[in-house]
Structure 1
Amino acid sequence: MVSNKLVIKCKNFVVLVDLHILPQGSRKDICWFSEQKKKDICMLLKETIDSRVKDYVEARKRHDLPKNAEFTRNNPLSLKGYGLHITAYFIKRGIHLHCIVGKSNCELRVFPDQFVVYVNQLE
């Protein structure tokens, strides 16, 4: 299994994505995975990420803890599209990260949950 790190921007947050590519066949080959497939995955998951960030922002405005634990390890999101099977879930990060950007007036923050994604090719 090969792991890639992605960053997806949503509103004024960046969401860290840990992308795991599952090998196909007995040779443990991942040559089936391309940059285009990575873009396809981001398109498929964009709505889920947007929804999670929106829920988090609304909960913070209400000074309430976010109760949205919709996609967890025990209850992952499962999608099929573009010839791919995707399983994904959010986990809390153990450390607090900050974005460092060139513009001092940019208000970009790292989202507190990490998105873990497993991808394999449909046969």
Structure 2
Amino acid sequence: MNGHDPNHLPDETASVDAARQLFDRAGDRLDTATANRLRLMRREALRGAAGPASRLGTWLPVGAAAVAVLALAIAWRAPVPEENIADTPDTELGTDPAVTGEDDAELYAWLGDAPVATTPGKAGTL
């Protein structure tokens, strides 16, 4: 057995204090050259981590302005919609039967006058 009790949770402050003491002891044993190298690598890592975020902060307004200008240019160059035919009075449409619907009226009148087969027993024939 390793002596670890899974039901016993260690005190958080005690573990933080123990970790800090261990870190301090390890840092005290470092020679000057290694400590300087570690400091330089830490600075470089922190500078690299902040780099893309700071660049994004400077390019974000520029990109938003470019998108706004592009949207205005597209809206300005968009074709103007023509007048809707459904809103115009019938007198402007002319006498085209396809537009006025006269062909449909004639068809329905013809169908109303057509003979209808009423012979029982002959299904499917008119």
User: Do they fold alike, i.e. is TM over 0.5?
Assistant: no
Of Structure 1 and Structure 2, the greater helix share is in: 2
- Could you say which structure has the greater relative contact order, defined with CA pairs below 8 angstroms and 6 or more residues apart? 1
Please give the range of the TM-score, normalised by the shorter of the 2 chains. Answer: under 0.3
Point out the structure with max Rg over C-alpha. Answer: 2
Normalising by structure 1, we get a TM-score of 0.23
